[in-house]
């Protein structure tokens, strides 16, 4: 049974050994994440402002006979489509590459080039799997949020599985993530909560602390969690071990 202190201890060792490469990868990942998010946020802001206007002004603003309104509507639609396409075709594979980097960093191979792994190794599979993961979590989130959070934890290990197993199928990735997180969702949630003081401290440092320590620390810890859950699964499930290409004798902590 893993403990938070053990995971964090190993994460700190990795972070200390490769801090600047890890910070660089996290910073790049933040930029990629912010591109589509800023576009969709702008659209959401416009929609929110429209909702607060009077009914007459609202109808007038969306009168498509007005050329300016057509332009504004086109921009909003373009921003939404751009955000969706970016998430599907760029963010998904990029996340796989980021997790590949962190798994490699714990083995003293912290090369930034690994962030492109999701694009050069079974790209279509990575796109499809990450798309369906995000879609399922979104659909479950429509049921009062909580089911979506539960599914988010259930599918949490998918990008790590894809990063380590370029030939594994989408169905197998979902199956393995469910098995790894079976009985571990609450423990993973508590692990996330254990960083709350670090996040509060980041607010008071204008998120400088988050960029140079908290986010890298969290990602290193999550990589350690994946390795722990994977090894536990391999040691107790021969079918899963075969899918992951491991035998009990090959499990390494």
Q: Which helix (H) or strand (E) holds 119?
A: helix 117-120
Instruction: Compute the distance between CA of residue 64 and CA of residue 55 in angstroms, rounded to an integer.
Output: 16
Nearest to 98 by CA among 216, 213, 229: 216
C-alpha pair distances (Å), 104 with each of 124, 197, 240: 22, 28, 22
Look at residue 45 in the predicted model and tell me its pLDDT. Answer: 42
User: What does pLDDT average to over the chain?
Assistant: 89
Virtual CA dihedral for 174, 179, 185, 187, nearest 10 degrees? -140
CA 22 – CA 196 distance, rounded (Å): 21
Which tokens sit at 118? 């999701």
The band of 62, judged by pLDDT with boundaries at 50, 70 and 90, is low
Q: Check residue 193 and give its pLDDT.
A: 98
Angle at the Cα of 178 (from 32 to 198), degrees rounded to 5? 50
pLDDT of residue 48: 44
* β strands within 39-148, DSSP E: none
Nearest to 157 by CA among 89, 106, 229: 229
Q: Give the span between the Cα atoms of 129 and 111, in whole angstroms.
A: 25
Q: What is the pLDDT of residue 252?
A: 53
Confidence of residue 250 (pLDDT cuts 50, 70, 90): low
CA angle 224/225/229 to nearest 5° reads 120
Report whether pLDDT(253) > 70.
no
Instruction: Delimit the domains of the chain by residue range.
Output: 4-245
Predicted confidence at residue 37, as pLDDT, reads 62
What Rg, from alpha-carbon coordinates, does the chain have? 21
Cα distance between residue 62 and residue 86, in whole Å: 27
What residues have CB less than 8 Å from 37, skipping those under 6 apart?
83
pLDDT at 63: 65
Chain segment 126-165, per-residue pLDDT in tens:
999 999 999 999 999 999 899 999 999 999 999 999 999 9
């Amino acid at each position: 049974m893993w403990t938070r202190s053990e995971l964090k201890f190993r994460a700190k060792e990795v972070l200390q050994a490769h801090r600047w490469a890890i910070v660089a990868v996290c910073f790049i990942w933040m930029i990629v994440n912010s591109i589509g998010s800023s576009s969709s946020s702008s659209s959401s802001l416009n929609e929110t402002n429209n909702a607060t206007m009077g009914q007459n002004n609202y109808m007038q603003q969306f009168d498509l006979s007005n050329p300016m309104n057509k332009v504004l509507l086109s921009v909003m639609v373009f921003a939404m489509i751009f955000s969706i396409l970016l998430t599907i075709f760029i963010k998904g594979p990029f996340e796989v590459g980021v997790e590949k980097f962190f798994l490699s960093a714990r083995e003293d191979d912290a090369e930034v080039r690994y962030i492109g792994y999701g694009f050069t190794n079974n790209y279509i599979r990575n796109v499809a799997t990450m798309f369906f993961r995000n879609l399922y979590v979104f659909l479950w989130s429509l049921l009062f949020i909580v089911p979506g959070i539960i599914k988010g934890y259930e599918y949490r290990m998918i990008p790590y599985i894809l990063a380590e197993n370029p030939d594994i199928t989408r169905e197998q990735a979902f199956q393995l993530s469910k098995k790894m997180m079976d009985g571990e969702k609450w423990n993973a949630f508590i692990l996330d909560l254990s960083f709350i003081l670090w996040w509060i401290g980041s607010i008071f440092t204008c998120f400088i602390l988050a960029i140079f320590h908290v986010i890298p620390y969290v990602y290193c810890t999550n990589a350690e969690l994946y390795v722990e859950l994977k090894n536990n699964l391999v040691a107790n499930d021969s079918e899963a071990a075969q899918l992951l290409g491991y035998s009990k004798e090959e499990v390494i902590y």
